[in-house]
Structure 1
């Protein structure tokens, strides 16, 4: 539990091959089902304050209440994902804290000196997210994500499906919103 952000709700892994990563999580770790979005449509995406046309695929699954996110960037646009891979890393890149009061948490983080590395929005204002430039070692970037809208309802569906998953239909394609 973070005294600033609350409970960690998601671990985000940046990978070079999202299909191989999903396969590993299903066959070796037994986590699924995976909800796969081939090309995420963002309303906007900014890297270090400048617009970026990042293209990415994501996959989501839960292990208990913890969501696992896999991210594969599909182009060379500036992002913290690209920086992570360019540093020779692959794997756990961030931990995400979810909120229904995004602006208050965002403002609090900024008031405490956190700097935004990249941020964006998916599916309207209630789909905002920000990654703070907090990486002291791989895997320690902090993301905050607004779950007050449709994204939160989708995340809850992913969590519920994982509770009763019997191993069938391990990869479920989702059309980008």
Structure 2
């Protein structure tokens, strides 16, 4: 467990074909069900201080207490995802810590020298930031970055729903749509 953030709650993989990746994870690895959003509604997205309009598809499922995220980039706006792909990396692009005390945890991380590179919001109380690539540090996979993700609102309820759906999943309905965050 991290002294700064607690448990790692999510590992995210950038994939070139999210539908094929969900099929593999569900039918070969037995991980699911997948909650799929073909266009994540990201607000206030910034990369290195500039605003952009990303189009990313995301699928989420739990394997025990760890959430797995599959992410496919659908446009070419500047992002740490694009940086990862252009650098020739594949596999895990980031791991995430979840917080209900976003401002305090972000301030603590910044006091420890972490620098925000990318961020935005998904729903109410669903802010997220990615810190600058720390792959120059020994032991960290090249290109893999740390995300701090706020789960105090509907996004946290969605993550709970995904975790609970995975607990006794019998393999049926391996891909499900994201529920509307406004109704959670």
State TM-score, norm by structure 2: 0.92
Provide, for residues 68-121 of structure 1, a one-character-per-residue CA deviation record: whole Å limited to 9, x for no partner: 001111000000001111111222011100011000001111111111120000
- Paired with 2:176 and 2:129, the residues of 1 have a C-alpha distance of 26
Return closer, same or farther for 1:27/1:135 CA change in 2, 3 Å cut-off: farther
Aligned residues: 176
Return closer, same or farther for 1:155/1:175 CA change in 2, 3 Å cut-off: closer
Aligned to 1:143: 147
Unpaired runs of 5+ residues, structure 1, are: none
| Matched position secondary structure for 2:103 | helix
Cα pair 2:11 2:95 within 8 Å, conserved: yes
Unpaired runs of 5+ residues, structure 2, are: 136-140
Answer with 153-162 or 130-139: which moved more. 130-139
Q: Which consecutive aligned stretches of 4+ in structure 1 deviate over 6 angstroms post-superposition?
A: none
| Matched position secondary structure for 1:29 | coil
The RMSD of aligned alpha carbons is 1.3
Cα pair 1:39 1:57 within 8 Å, conserved: yes
Provide, for residues 27-75 of structure 1, a one-character-per-residue CA deviation record: whole Å limited to 9, x for no partner: 2211000000000111211001111111100000000010000111100
Task: Note if 1:152 corresponds to 2:156.
Answer: yes
State TM-score, norm by structure 1: 0.95
